[in-house]
């Protein structure tokens, strides 16, 4: 695509179907990069599994119509999956979190507390991570239209970044990568290149993350969910980051 003298790519977005032991679960629209990370991260944050050892195998099948993730999970988690499974038809879009639920009870399920005392971040470290993030977002530099999620250590050094057209997909990819690398999510923080909505908070909490920093403002519901989980939430305000919870 071209506008004046500027050139950039248009990012891909394809349907990604999640199938657990032959059972169809969800279809998400996502950027077809780091697909194994996405498969693992989504399975963790959706609570289909609790840890990687609950997954016997995952096969990724691509076709002109999209991607299918075929999982084999433990009998214990499959039994829980069947109990929890609702009659729903989820279709993920870049601008939404969870669609197609028959009722709103899912949104108000209490989140576990990630810490007894909120994790305090060094504001300078958050800012260092924020300034460094664009240099790690290769796809964004080419397309100017994808979100990034980064794992940043306590000093502000970025260790892992994942990108996607959907901010929640980018986070799932990051959490999947951290799980596969066996990273201790009790230390450091997640940096999101977008607003912090409730699903960002929920996904982070489900994976034991103690702090999230967002480049854009959070929603009120996200703030309430962060307070509920004792998650530290920081947002960018002009030239500095401030603690919201």
- Helix and strand tally (H, E) in the chain? 7, 13
Q: How many CB atoms lie within 10 A of CB 117?
A: 8
Catalytic residue among 96, 99, 196, 207: 96
Q: Distance from first CA to last CA of the chain, Å, rounded?
A: 41
Cα–Cα distance measured from residue 112 to residue 90, given in angstroms and rounded to the nearest whole number: 24
Phi, then psi, of 82 in degrees rounded to 5: -65, -35
Residue 96 a catalytic site member: yes
* Residue for token pair 């796809």: 139
Phi, then psi, of 55 in degrees rounded to 5: -105, 115
**In DSSP terms, which residues pair with 162 in a beta bridge?**
149
Phi, then psi, of 241 in degrees rounded to 5: -100, 145
Cα–Cα distance measured from residue 209 to residue 30, given in angstroms and rounded to the nearest whole number: 23
* Residue for token pair 């997909």: 169
* Residue for token pair 């016997």: 56
Catalytic residue list = 96
């Amino acid at each position: 695509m071209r506008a004046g003298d500027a050139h950039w790519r248009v990012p891909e977005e394809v349907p990604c179907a999640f199938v657990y032991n032959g059972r169809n679960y969800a279809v998400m629209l996502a950027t077809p990069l780091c697909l194994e990370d996405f498969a693992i991260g989504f399975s963790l944050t959706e609570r289909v599994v609790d840890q990687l050892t609950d997954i016997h195998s995952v096969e990724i099948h691509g076709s002109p119509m999209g991607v299918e993730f075929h999982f084999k999970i433990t009998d214990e988690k499959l039994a829980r999956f069947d109990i929890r499974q609702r009659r729903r038809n989820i279709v993920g879009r870049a601008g939404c979190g969870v669609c197609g639920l028959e009722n709103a009870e899912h949104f108000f399920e209490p989140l576990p507390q990630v810490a007894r005392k909120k994790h305090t971040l060094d504001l300078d470290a958050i800012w260092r991570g924020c300034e460094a993030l664009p240099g790690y977002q290769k796809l964004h530099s080419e397309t100017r239209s994808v979100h990034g999620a980064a794992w940043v250590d306590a000093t502000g050094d970025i260790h892992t970044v994942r990108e996607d057209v959907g901010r929640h997909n980018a986070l799932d990819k990051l959490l999947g990568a951290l799980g596969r690398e066996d990273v201790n999510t009790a230390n450091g923080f997640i940096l999101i290149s977008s607003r912090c909505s409730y699903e960002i908070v929920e996904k982070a909490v489900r994976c034991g993350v103690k702090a999230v920093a967002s480049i854009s403002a959070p929603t009120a519901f996200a703030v309430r969910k962060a307070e509920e989980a004792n998650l530290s939430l920081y947002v960018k305000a002009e030239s500095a980051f401030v603690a919201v919870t």
